[in-house]
Structure 1
Amino acid sequence: MIAAIKYNLANLTNFRGREGRSAFWFYFLFLAIIQIVVSFVISMAMTGPMMVDVFQAAQQGLSEAEMQQRLFGRLSGMMRISVWASVASTLVLTALLIASFTRRLHDSGKPGWIAGLTVVIQLAALGLAVASIDKVAQLMIIAQSGDMAKLQEAQAGMMLNGVLGWVPLLIVIVFGVWPSTDGANRYGEEPDHI
């Protein structure tokens, strides 16, 4: 596993040759763990101050409605930061994965443009996420109002972004598990097992 991670980190700009399934998936797992840890740290950093604010509001004797209003106000700002943090981490992880995915495609005899298409779809999903930041903040206000019909309508309008965000991951999974070509192919010799 460590050898696969070292190999991939040393070949971040190498789009030539082939990469076996195990090396690719160990590296993918490494990146997934990093994303989970980064997301957890960001979440804790944002949630902590919000909870302190709620406890202070309770100590000040604010009513439940006032505390909810304060909480939803903080959540709206937190959602904006969360979207930008997600966009930044996704861009970094996409950049770290693209060469490895291209070599993995080559190992199964597939062209590297599939990786490029995956990046384009990922960028489109990120663009939609950034464009919908205000809509996400608006969801917090609608949720606070308690109007479930309006909330469901607003969520339905954002469904495309949610679905589009999963497409690149599905492409990586499908082509990542594709069987390797036995022996040499047009992209080179069969990779050494890392």
Structure 2
Amino acid sequence: MSFGDSIKYCFSNYANFNGRAGRPQFWYFLLFTWIVGAILTIIDSAVFGSSSFGVLSTIWALAVLVPVWAVGARRLHDTGKSGWMQLLLLIPCVGFIILIVFWSMPTTPAANNYGTETI
């Protein structure tokens, strides 16, 4: 899946927590959200000052919160794990590291409880 296709797919399925998402789809979408967030943070600093609350970046973060959770759940499904594993983020430091490992795992090569193999 290409960079643009993954962004389109993730936004069109922004609240779809079912199914599977391959590594490219997940990482491309996260890269896109991080790049846009960084650009908006720079604009926030330039327009509103560095000490102000980042209005644009906060709006962006809230706008992509559900799509990021959804694609994260689908990515975990692709590795054969439950989307609820994202709750590991509530464990400081360790939870994020564990999730990075899970999100980086290869695709389950056959159908699993969450659907057929991703492309």
CA distance in structure 2 between the partners assigned to 1:88 and 1:171 by the alignment: 28
User: Cα offset for 1:178?
Assistant: 1.5
SS in 1 for 2:107: coil
1:100 aligned partner = 71
1:110 aligned partner = 81
**Alignment CA distance shift 1:29-1:169 (3 Å):** farther
**Alignment CA distance shift 1:184-1:6 (3 Å):** same
**Alignment CA distance shift 1:29-1:15 (3 Å):** same
CA distance in structure 1 between the partners assigned to 2:25 and 2:71 by the alignment: 9
1:63 aligned partner = none
1:14 aligned partner = 16
CA RMSD of aligned residues (A): 2.6
Structure 1 unaligned residues grouped into runs of 5+: 48-74, 123-163
Alignment of 1:97-176 (within 5 A): 97-115=68-86, 117-118=87-88, 121=90, 164=92, 170-176=97-103
1:26 aligned partner = 28
1:178 aligned partner = 105
Q: Whose relative contact order is higher, 1 or 2, with alpha carbons under 8 Å and at least 6 apart? A: 1
Question: Matched residues, percent identical?
Answer: 35
Give the TM-score of the pair, scaled to structure 1.
0.52
Contact 1:101 1:172 in 2 (8 A): no
Cα deviations across residues 29-54 of structure 1 (Å, max 9, x unaligned)?
1111111011111011123xxxxxxx
Contact 2:40 2:57 in 1 (8 A): no
Query: Structure 1: which amino acid aligns with 2:18?
Result: R
The number of equivalent residue pairs is 117
CA distance in structure 2 between the partners assigned to 1:190 and 1:39 by the alignment: 37
2:38 aligned partner = 36
User: Cα offset for 1:180?
Assistant: 1.2
Give the TM-score of the pair, scaled to structure 2.
0.81
Query: Structure 2: which amino acid aligns with 1:176?
Result: W
Query: Structure 2: which amino acid aligns with 1:181?
Result: T
Which one has a bigger Cα radius of gyration?
A: 1
